Amino acid sequence: MDTRHLEEFLALAHDLNWSSAAQKTYVARATLAEHMADLESELGCRLFRKEGRNLVLTPLGKRFVSDADELVQRVRRTVSEYQSLEGNFLLVKISATNLPWIESLLHRACRSLGAACERKTIEIATVPSAASNIRALEDGSNDLVVAGIKSWVPKSEAEASLDERELAGFFVRREPIHFYVTEGNDLFNKETIQAADLDGKTIIAPPDIYDGYIRDEVVERFSAAGAHVRLKSVPIESHFDYFGRNFDQGVGIVPETLVPRFGIDNRRECRTFDLIDFPFETDFYVLYRKDFLEDETARMLIDELKEAAREPDTR
């Protein structure tokens, strides 16, 4: 439905005079009559009729006045909104599996950015998959990812690897990664567990974590600590898939952030543990493509995220 025709209809409905309405809407009288005929044809009803020499609205024409006015106003508001969004709108794609580490930062960053610059609008699009690694950045399916690097990896080495791939990022926090078994596993009731107790075990990890553990030489680290472990990847769609698995044979992993989120510490059939002789910690970073910063709103968001990440963790 052409909004110009609606505006012309409203002018004609107000004046009930072809010449006056045509003059107000800057069209010829014949063009106005043609447009009203098109509008009536589209609606499937008569909007005007003649009473003697006078033009009057039909009952449906009277009813349509408020609807036409609402449609015109809605279009005007929409046009105004999108005109103001041009250059001020940012859609950020983030994997659902990354949200536990970044949602609080995003909330604070967006709130701070909105207070400092009201015209800026940021919308978060959650990607419903487990694609949350660096490849998800490079193929464009994610704009931000939270990536973990084992605490023993030198920061300079990690930064050099990012720079080669035209990526950048900032540190969020270091947190322990607990090991995770379910009832029936021979480690379930063991009072204290050290690295050697995992000898011959298989550590089962989601695909994105698996890639990072290969990169960070987790198997080699265990070997140096006296345990020959295997690393296995399992396909998942979400964290729920992973933590719903049975770990009575292999050993799972669970970052500290996810323990309360999935109620793992309250599930009697589950046990998390740390190795008394082998600190197993991950440094978490928010990563993004360098070209992401070509957008002004994206640059402002990253600045606010960095500031939020520097604030004390009050969890």
Reported as a pLDDT band with limits 50, 70 and 90, residue 34 is very high
Answer yes or no: do 129 and 230 share one domain: yes
Instruction: Classify residue 68: in a domain, yes or no.
Output: yes
Q: Indicate the residue among 27, 57, 85 that finishes a domain.
A: 85
Instruction: Classify residue 144: in a domain, yes or no.
Output: yes
Under 8 Å between Cβ of 77 and 233: no
CB < 8 Å & 24+ apart, contacts of 244-250: 245/204, 246/182, 246/184, 247/180, 247/181, 247/182, 247/185, 247/204, 248/181, 248/182, 248/183, 248/184, 248/185, 249/185, 249/202, 250/201, 250/202, 250/203, 250/204
Instruction: Classify residue 47: in a domain, yes or no.
Output: yes
Which amino acid, one-letter code, is at 94? Answer: I
| β-pair type (281-289, 167-182) | antiparallel
Q: Three-state DSSP class for 312?
A: coil
Answer yes or no: do 105 and 249 share one domain: yes
CB contact set of 292 (below 8 Å; sequence gap of 6+): 143, 298, 302
Answer yes or no: do 130 and 73 share one domain: no
Instruction: Classify residue 314: in a domain, yes or no.
Output: no
Query: Residue 130's pLDDT is what?
Result: 57
**Residue 231 clears pLDDT 60, i.e. is over it:** yes
Element spanning 109, H or E: helix 99-116
Instruction: Classify residue 315: in a domain, yes or no.
Output: no
pTM score, two decimals?
0.80
Answer yes or no: do 77 and 100 share one domain: no
Answer yes or no: do 188 and 46 share one domain: no
Query: Residue 235's pLDDT is what?
Result: 83
Where do we find the tokens 């540190």? 171
Domain that holds residue 278: 90-308
Query: Residue 254's pLDDT is what?
Result: 94
**Residue 265 clears pLDDT 70, i.e. is over it:** yes
Answer yes or no: do 185 and 275 share one domain: yes
Answer yes or no: do 28 and 120 share one domain: no
**CATH number, domain with residue 187:** 3.40.190.170
Answer yes or no: do 68 and 106 share one domain: no
Which amino acid, one-letter code, is at 289? Answer: R
Answer yes or no: do 200 and 252 share one domain: yes
CA dihedral 36, 41, 47, 49 (to 10 degrees): 80
Instruction: Classify residue 159: in a domain, yes or no.
Output: yes
**CATH number, domain with residue 66:** 1.10.10.10
CA dihedral 220, 224, 228, 230 (to 10 degrees): -20
Query: Residue 132's pLDDT is what?
Result: 64
Q: Indicate the residue among 67, 85, 103 that finishes a domain.
A: 85
Q: Indicate the residue among 70, 85, 100 that finishes a domain.
A: 85
Q: What is the DSSP letter of 313?
A: P
Q: What is the pLDDT of residues 162-203, one digit of tens each?
A: 888 899 999 999 999 999 999 999 999 999 999 999 999 999
Answer yes or no: do 287 and 302 share one domain: yes
Q: What is the pLDDT of residues 60-92, one digit of tens each?
A: 999 999 999 999 999 999 999 999 999 999 999
Q: Three-state DSSP class for 196?
A: helix
Answer yes or no: do 184 and 71 share one domain: no
Instruction: Classify residue 207: in a domain, yes or no.
Output: yes
Under 8 Å between Cβ of 203 and 218: yes
Answer yes or no: do 29 and 176 share one domain: no
Instruction: Classify residue 313: in a domain, yes or no.
Output: no
Domain count, the chain: 2
